[in-house]
Amino acid sequence: MKIPITKAIFDEAEKAAILKPLESGWVVQGPNVAEFEKMFAKHAHTPFAVALSNCTTALHAGLVAMGIGAGDKVIVPAFTYVASANAVEYTGATVVFCDIELSTFNIDIPKLEQLLKTETNIKAIMPVHLFGLCANMPEIMKLAHKYHVKVIEDAACAFDSWINNQHAGTFGDCGCFSFHPRKAITTGEGGMLITNQESLAKHVSQLRDHGASKSDLQRHKEKGGSLLPDFTMRGYNYRMTDLQGALGVCQMQKTTRIMHGRREIAKRYDHDLKQFPQLVIPVVPKGYIHGYQSYVCLFAGEEGLNQLTKEKIDRLNRQRNIFMEQLEAKGIATRQGTHAVHTLSYYKNRYQLKESDYLMAYAADRLSITFPVYAGMSDAEFNYVIQNIHEVLTQCVELVE
């Protein structure tokens, strides 16, 4: 049996929807993108949603619109996808990494406060809601107000993730989502920035469209559409196509099915993986609703995760890798959760960092393991995964002893 890490849920509705822009000829940022934005804003209970070409461009445009640039510093968790840090560097600002809390994979609040106290020129925090679990936004917003810094939420993985009925991306100045196929809802490539600040939404709308003061859709709806509008800022081409917009509209129509399906599989993993002390299942703090963009455990082996040192992490890492290789040999896709960005050559060299500088991020990089999750995963597929985890874990321990 072959079990992929995830599967996009496309059916006849998506096939029909992408034909519409092909037939109308309006294939770039048009009525479907506008409809997708409207539906996304409604879902997240936010007034403004601006679709962009992907989450990285959304983060970049958001940072620019917040006034972040050369000479500024932005705090980014050390365990995230490299795009979070790259977006900061695109603006000319400098990344300041912060370690994470291993249990949630999200930014460590006491360490964040320490950085805000000691570093100069911090202009913004970019909390990441990793794998669909919100970072501790109530505490982060308290710190942001105390230290007068802006907040841009990297909500790439956080579609339908909530804290006490508040959607990810609505706590800070803005939040940015990804619709890459590894995400819960997908448009192939795609991104969305949400905000409750009208001026920020307008600024990002212009930035995504070369700085144009009016979008093509607006111009075509108005009289005098043959004249180009004024360009009042240096912008980018970060537009979403209307084909992607059409996919987005269809995906929004099936969010209940997609999210319910993913959460049901996560619940079954929570139940079945508890029997394996070698695996630590994801934590969901009270009041949080996990979106399960990924179902990510920590590999604790026979030793457990107490008193982690680099040597212990490296030892467990060798076992985790054998475990993953053996599952792969059985046709089951797994992945490390994401990477510790400070260990990647570019960032390590640029900021002269050591792996042990952010030890929990290093541990998460070396010990995390993502299991397959998708809506519609059959009982046979799920049971095959559990049965093989059981078999391989037993062998894996024998292999390293």
Ligand X SMILES: Cc1ncc(COP(=O)(O)O)c(C=O)c1O
Q: Closest approach of Cβ 129 to ligand X, in Å?
A: 8
Q: Which of 171, 190, 193, 169 shows the shortest CA–CA distance to 179? A: 190
Residue among 42, 61, 289 at smallest CA distance from 184? 289
Residues that bind ligand X (CB under 6 A): 54-56, 80-81, 83-84, 128, 154, 156-157, 178, 180, 191
19: number of Cβ within 10 Å: 12
Q: In the complex, what is the shortest distance from the CB of residue 67 to ligand X, in angstroms, rounded to a whole number? A: 21
* Long-range contacts formed by 384-388: CB under 8 A, 24+ apart: 384/1, 384/3, 384/332, 385/3, 385/332, 386/272, 386/273, 388/327, 388/330, 388/332
Q: Give the residue from 107, 103, 149 showing the smallest Cα distance to 128.
A: 107
In 286-352 the beta strands, taken as DSSP E runs, fall at: 288-289, 295-299
Question: Which residue(s) pair with 369 in the sheet?
Answer: 297
Beta carbon of residue 336, minimum distance to ligand X (angstroms, whole number): 13
Nearer to ligand X, 191 or 235 (CB): 191
Number of Cβ within a 10 Å radius of residue 259: 20
Least CB distance to ligand X at residue 156 (A): 3
Q: Taking the complex as a whole, how short is the minimal distance between the CB of residue 87 and ligand X, in angstroms?
A: 8
Nearer to ligand X, 128 or 194 (CB): 128
Give Cα 334 to chain centroid, integer Å.
18
Q: How far apart are CA 348 and CA 193, in angstroms?
A: 29
SS3 category, 14: helix
Query: Minimum distance from CB of 331 to ligand X (Å)?
Result: 24
Closer by beta carbon to ligand X, 128 or else 332: 128
User: At closest approach, how far in Å is the CB of 80 from ligand X?
Assistant: 5
Contacts of 112 (CB under 8 A, 6+ apart): 75, 98, 125, 140, 143
Residues 6+ positions from 114 with CB-CB distance below 8 Å: none
Identify which of residues 37 and 154 has a Cβ nearer to ligand X in the complex.
154
The distance of closest approach from Cβ of residue 278 to ligand X in the complex, given in angstroms and rounded to an integer, is: 26
Collapsing DSSP to helix, strand or coil, 257 comes out as: helix
